[in-house]
Every structure is written in C-alpha cells, then in structure tokens.
Amino acid sequence: MDQAKAKQEINSLREDLNKYNYKYYVLDQPSVSDAIYDQKMQSLRQLEEQFPQFITSDSPTQRVGGEALDAFEKVQHQVPMLSLSNAFNESDLRDFDRRVKDGLGVERVMYVCELKIDGLAVSLRYENGLFTQGATRGDGTTGEDITSNLRTIRSIPLRIKETDTIEVRGEAFMPQKSFLALNEAKEENGEDPFANPRNAAAGSLRQLNPKIAAKRNLDIFLYAVGQWESGTLTAHSERLHYLSTLGFKTNPEWQKCATIDEVINYVNEWVTKRTNLHYEIDGIVIKVDQLAYQDQLGTTAKSPRWAIAYKFPAEEAITKLHDIELSVGRTGVVTPTAVLDPVKVAGTTVQRASLHNEDLIHEKDIRMNDTVVIKKAGDIIPEVVRVMIDERDGTEKPYHMPSQCPACSSELVRLEEEVALRCINPNCPAQVKEGLTHFVSRNAMNIDGLGEKVIEQLFEANLVKSIADIYQLKRDELLPLERMGEKSVDNLLQAIEVSKSNSLERLLFGLGIRFVGSKAAKTLAIHFETMDQLEQASYDELVAVKEIGDKMADSIVRYFSEEEVKELLHDLKALNLNMTYLGLKPKTEELNDSPFYEKTIVLTGKMKELTRPEAKEKIELLGGKVTGSVSKKTSLVIAGEDAGSKLDKANNLGITTWDEQQLIDALKEKNETN
C-alpha cells in the first residue's frame, strides 16, 4: 500500500472509530458489535505501525499511549474555576432567589437546574479542534495537568468541530458499577478500598501512570464553558445544547425553571429519584440562565453570585457496635466486619458494616461497644464513619486483630505492600469452603442444589475437601445427611453429572485463579480453546491476549505451575470433566441480517426454555447489547413470566416488547438461514 492510500484508509478508520466511540460512550447507543470495533481498531493499529508518520494525537489508538510521569505540572486557569456557595434547605434557596433579583433589579429570572455530580471538577482545552490540555480545578486559580489521564476517558472527544480555542468544564466521575468492581479487586489484593466513588475518581485521575487510570472505567459530564473568546451564545442553556452538538457528553437531566418554586420542586424530586441513577450525585446546582445577568451579578472572591449548590442532607445513623467478626475469603484475606444494632440507612436496614482492615480500625479508634455513626459509602456500602467519643462510658475496649487465622489457627501474615492480613495455609478450612462455594456458584459451574449451606454440610461431614471430591460423591453417603431425601439426592447427583459438560470458561472461573473473573475466563477459553493449551501458555503468550494484563498473566502462570493444581486437573480429567471451549465464536459476516444487530435489549421476568445467561449470550453473539435497565435508548424488551416494573416502563415509553417465544422463534429463524 502506498502512502496516499494508507493515509486515506487511516483517516477512514479513525472517522468510523470516533463515530462508534461517540455513539457508545456519549449516547449509550452502540452502533456496531465489539467484533467489528476490534477489527477496525486492529487494522488502524497495524497501518499506524507501518506508516508512523501519520500517527496523530487525536487517533483512537492514542487514548493510552503516554509513559508514566514523575509529577504533574501546574496549570494556570485563564478563567478561575470558582467553587459554589451552598444551600441546605428551602429557606436558603429562597434567599438566593431574593439576592439574585435584588442584585439585578428584576422580578423574574430564568434558572437552570443540574444534577451535582459527585466527582472531580476538570477543565478541557481545545485548540483548532484538538484536545490539547486537561487539568484539575486545584485551588481554582492553579490546577494540575492530567491530560494523559483524561485522554483515557472515552466519552471525552479528542477532536471537536469548533476551530476556535475553547475551554470547557465538567465533572469526571466513577460509575457505581466501576466503583464496586474496583473495591472488590482492591480488597482481594489486600489493599485499602476507596471510601466512595468521588475519592475513587480523584485517585484514578491523579495516577502518574495513565495505564492505571485507563483500567478504572471513568466517565464525565460537561456542564460549562470557561474561556471562549469568540462565543456568541447568550444563555447557559444554549451552551449546554452547543456542547452536545460538539460531541461532548452532557447530563440529560437538566431543566429550565421560571420560578424558585419550580427550582424547589426539581430539588425535591431528585432527593428521592437519585437512588435510581448509576452514578452518584450529592446535590443540585442552580444557575441563572442569562449570561448577561451572570456578568452583571459577578462573583465574590470565592464563588459566583449567580449560582448556588443545594447539598443533599447526609444520610447517617447512630447505632451501637457490639461485636467484630472475622471472615476468611477464598484467597486468605481476613476481613473484619462490625456487628451493629439494626438501624435504617438510605432505605434499608443495616446490621453489619465492613471495617476493611486493622489499620482502618486503629485510625478511627473503633472500640468494642462504641456508639458509632454509620452511612452507606456512595449510598451503596455500609461503613462506620466515626465514633461518638462523648458517648463512651468506660465499657469500651480497644480491638486488636488476632495473630492467628480464626478458621485454622495458622499464623497470619501481611504480605509486602498489602494492608490486609492473610492466611497463607492452602488447607485452611475457611478458604477451602469459600473456594468450593465459588466453584459451584451460578457464574461458575452452576451446580443446582449445591449452595453454601450444603457445601458447609458436606465439608463438616468430611465428604468434600477439594473440588474433585464433589464429583466422587455417592448416593449412600448423601442420604443419611439432614434434609437430604431421595429425590433431592438424585437431583443433586444429576446436576453434578451435568456440570461435567460445561464449557471451559465456567471451569476456569470456578477454579478461582487470582485476578481471573468470569469475563477474563471466557476471553482465555475462546483464545486458547483447551485447558492443556492454556496450562502450557507462557507469560508473553498470555499478555498478548486482549484484556489480559501483567498481573493476571503472572497469576495464571504461577497457578498452573503449582503441583497441587497439576494433580487437581489430572483428577478432574480422569473424572471426565470437559476441558474444551464449547461456545460459539462471533461471526461478524452474519451480523448484518440479525434481528438484534446494533440493538439495546433488556431481559426481564422468568424464562422457561432459556436461562437468562443463555439468552444473553445468544443475543450478544448476534450483535445485540444486553443491559439491565430500561430507558429511552432501549430497542427491545424481552419479557418472561412475572415481568414487573421493567415491562411497565417499556410499555409507558412505547418500546417494542417480545415474549420468550418470539425470542426463540427469532433465534431459530436466524439459525435456519445460516
């Protein structure tokens, strides 16, 4: 390929990929399958490697291309990023309205209300349409250059159609799903979890290595324009619309209000509705809409007079901590949990709260029998906020973590660079039971009737001590056990036998290899196809697989090098467990005529012929995207029996709905045409 042809092809691929990114990350409307996207991205990478003279900073391949930094450089904001003054009740909002009207000498003012995203305020600078610099708010006058990290947020466009220099502002945040996954991984690794999504977002964007930030799955909403010398718009609401036309992601829930009463109604509405969002908000921002009025009102030294932030009241509760229990996870991490007197917080009754590790207990000086204040971190995870020192009566006792494992009495250790205590005895009964429970779970081997309580019963009866033991259970051993009648025993043995035929990815996930989740297990199974080939894979071969990073590859190599693992796999093969990937691989040439291609689909209710995971897999293989919630962007809702609120919402929004039989007919028709 000559240079002219290569440049033309590179530009075409970039245009397609940028369009796909915009629809997926900004509009939440996927337009192509992952397979097509990956194919085009790989083609672009190969061409850029062959013709490096055509690589540009706005190429989709350059999202995470920078090296780790030694420190962040300072950035001077041309227009200060001021903080907002706060309102805490209706009276404060009415006082704000009165001050605005008095300051302007008018009787009516139009306001814009926006959700106050709980994240990190940032600015993005574009010159001649190209994203050139991103910075934190800092002290409002001077921030830090975090351009490399912001480039990893895929909802931030690297190029826009505005050719004049423009600086826009927004809130980078971590969605709840990303926050929970990150904290689970940190605790699994013996690291301190983040207290809330805001801290997680800030910590991610202040990583000196952008590759770490890229793994955190951050997002952003843009809400303001800072420096823009050629701007001719006259209202804040017009700017929000314009930001959307430029390709920026703006929050769709903003609303214009003609009176302060409308503002208060909007605030009250979101006090209750905020729990339905997939991201955290901590209040509502109210701004005067007319830009001329904003200029006339001006600012104080710290805050604009034309805007205010209504802060939601913190949902905290006071209760008594009467015990601290320890649990041992399947990787040996020992986690302390506060046992509390029941108390209602954010709509649910809380009786337990994670204390994470010993360092946190000492840092907050948490003692047995303390009166404590609790809240849900990010309205999700119950946590102890602080101790009420004044309530102490002398009966409180300092708590110290034991030096021995509560399950097996082995010496607990703290590995290098970890904050958690860990039991490293591979035969620790707590770890073994947790590992067995994980192995039989729904997303792993999915052995019906073999849940946590039955595993506990079998373990205590010395019938199972390892995974292989599950497949050697005998009918006459099970019948004498409590709640084990003939029918339940037969059903259990049948479920165990059926699980032998599971596809490789289920077995891989069930083995509990550190850092290998269900998604990675499927990626590995598709790539290597057999357990033998994966077992023999080198570190370099593993990291060459998309989405398999350094730590995961190292963990996999270490796992398969253990003699105990080799013996286990030998036993499982002898017991006739399948060791091969049995699933389908996406065939991109078959997607265009698929009834699910480029559609966003929600499954709800009970299915008779297909399980929910089976239906999801079949739809995704045919180019559909399955999500968990119904919105205006949903293309199709497939409802089984006893479908509830999701079906009601779909009907209210006029979204097409199918029953299970229509899904099965569509799948059969697609299979018959191939």
Query: Which run of H or E residues covers position 186?
Result: helix 176-188
R_g of the chain, CA atoms, integer Å: 28
Q: What is the largest CA-CA distance in the chain?
A: 90
Asked if 78 and 132 count as a contact pair (C-beta separation under 8 A), the reply is no
How far CA 159 is from CA of 78, 211, 345, 450, in Å, comes to: 21, 21, 44, 53
Give the pairing of strands 381-387 and 412-413. Answer: unpaired
Does residue 196 sit in helix, strand or coil? coil
Calpha distance 271→328 (Å, rounded): 38
Tokens representing residue 29 in the block: 């409307």
Does residue 34 sit in helix, strand or coil? helix
Q: Residue 201: which residues within 8 A CB-CB, separation 6 or more?
A: 119, 120, 172, 173, 174, 216, 218
DSSP code, position 271: H
Asked if 602 and 629 count as a contact pair (C-beta separation under 8 A), the reply is yes
Cα dihedral 401→407→408→413 (10° resolution) = -30
Calpha distance 650→629 (Å, rounded): 10
* Cα angle 136-286-229, degrees, rounded to a multiple of 5: 55
Q: Residue 627: which residues within 8 A CB-CB, separation 6 or more?
A: 600, 601, 602, 634
Asked if 146 and 134 count as a contact pair (C-beta separation under 8 A), the reply is yes
Give the pairing of strands 333-345 and 421-423. Answer: antiparallel
Does residue 8 sit in helix, strand or coil? helix
Residue among 40, 116, 249, 376 flagged as catalytic: 116
Residue 587 falls in the annotated catalytic set: no
Half-sphere exposure of 442 (CA within 13 A, CB side): 4
**Catalytic residue list:** 116
